[in-house]
Structures are given as C-alpha cells and as structure tokens.
C-alpha cells in the first residue's frame, strides 16, 4: 500500500506529494476565501499562506484530526485577519467577480447549458450564508458537521440553511423542470 500524501509530506518531506495535495485542494479553498474577500489575488494569497504554514509545520500534520476542516478554518481565519487589515481601505479597491463551479459528474453532463445557467442564477440568488453553506456541502462535499465546525455554527443551523436553499432552488427551478420532478425529488 502506498503511503498517503500527508504521510509522505510529514515523514519524507516529499515536495511532489505536497504539490499534489495543494493541487487537489487549492481551487475549493480559493473559492471559499473568495466568498469572504471578493478579491482574486488576495484569495489566492490567503490560500497560499495557509499552505505555506502547513508545509512549515509539516512535522505535526498527524496531530490534525480532520485536514479538510483544518484547511477551511485556516482559510476562514486568514481571510478574517485580512478583512480586519483592509477594513479602512476604499471599497472601490475590491475586485468583484461572480462565478460558480459545478464539479462534473455523469448526471450533470446531461443538463443543458440553459438549465445550468438557471441553476447557477438560482444559487447566486440565495442569501449569502445559505449560499456558502450550500456550496460547502453540495459542491465541496463536506459534511454538515464539518461545515458547522468550519463556520463555528451549530449543526442544526447548517441543516436548516440547506433545507432553505433546496426549497428556494426548487421554487426557482420549478418552471424549468419536468412535471414529475418535484414528486420524485421528495421521495428520495
């Protein structure tokens, strides 16, 4: 059995393993940072800072209970520190870019471009916290408990926000979906 990337990073100082680990996690963490600061360059810098600290402290990686939660919390805290530092700056200095990422799977490949755009618009219309929680669970694949730990909120709040998001998405997309879709969706 091959040693895990984290094992190779910690015990072998394996830079190739670190690059692979970085590549595997960078984009999602970048998107997460971007939700807080709305600046591409700063979001990328925040993620890179988190990974630099991880590399510098690699000898203690095995002390991290859940690496995904650790990375998201580190990005959230670094972004919060950045926001505090720039809170006095002119708000026009912030670059605003709206984007949405769907990880491809066979089912999504069947969705038309038009419906994809409607889904993206419906998600973009969600309230900010609701959208963030939805993205972390549905796009990034984190559990509700992990999201609760990352955002320092209760598990119940996460599940409530997910329920709200799904109801709002169903309402927004109902005209574009087949007539029997709602009934089959609720049965699952």
**Each residue's pLDDT tens digit, 168-177:** 888 888 876 6
Q: What angle do CA 91, 93, 96 make, to 5 degrees?
A: 85
Examine the fold and report which residue of 35, 58, 93 is the final residue of a domain before the chain moves on: 93
Residue 179 forms part of a structural domain: yes
Same domain (yes/no): 39, 114:
no
CB 104 within 8 A of CB 116: no
Examine the fold and report which residue of 93, 120, 136 is the final residue of a domain before the chain moves on: 93
The pLDDT score that the predictor gives to residue 86 is 77
Count structural domains, the chain: 2
- The CA distance from 18 to 11, in Å, is 12
Residue 100 forms part of a structural domain: no
Residue matched to tokens 């119940």: 156
| CATH code (residue 65) | 1.10.1740
Same domain (yes/no): 116, 55:
no
CB 29 within 8 A of CB 67: no
Q: Is the pLDDT of residue 102 over 80?
A: no
pLDDT digits (tens, 9 = 90+) for 104-152: 455 545 555 677 778 888 889 999 999 999 999 988 889 999 999 999 9
DSSP string, 145-174: HHHHHHHT--HHHHHHHHHHHHHHHHHHHG
Domain that holds residue 123: 106-187
Residue 96 pLDDT level (bands cut at 50, 70, 90): very low
Residue 144 forms part of a structural domain: yes
pTM over 0.85, yes/no: no
């Amino acid at each position: 059995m091959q040693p895990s990337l984290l094992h190779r990073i910690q015990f072998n100082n394996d830079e190739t393993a670190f690059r692979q680990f970085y590549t595997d996690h960078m984009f999602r963490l970048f998107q997460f940072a971007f939700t807080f600061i709305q600046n591409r360059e700063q979001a990328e810098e925040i993620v890179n800072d988190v990974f630099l600290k991880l590399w510098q402290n690699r000898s203690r990686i095995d002390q991290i209970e859940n690496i995904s939660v650790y990375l998201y919390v580190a990005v959230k805290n670094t972004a919060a520190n950045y926001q505090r530092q720039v809170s006095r700056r002119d708000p026009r200095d912030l670059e605003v870019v709206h984007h949405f990422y769907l990880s491809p799977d066979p089912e999504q490949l069947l969705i038309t471009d038009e419906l994809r755009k409607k889904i993206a618009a419906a998600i973009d219309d969600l309230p900010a916290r609701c959208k963030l929680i939805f993205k972390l669970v549905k796009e990034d694949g984190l559990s509700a408990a992990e999201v609760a730990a990352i955002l320092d909120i209760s598990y119940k709040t996460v599940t409530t926000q997910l329920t709200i998001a799904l109801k709002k998405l169903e309402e927004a997309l109902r005209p574009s979906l087949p007539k029997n879709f709602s009934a089959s969706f609720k049965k699952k």
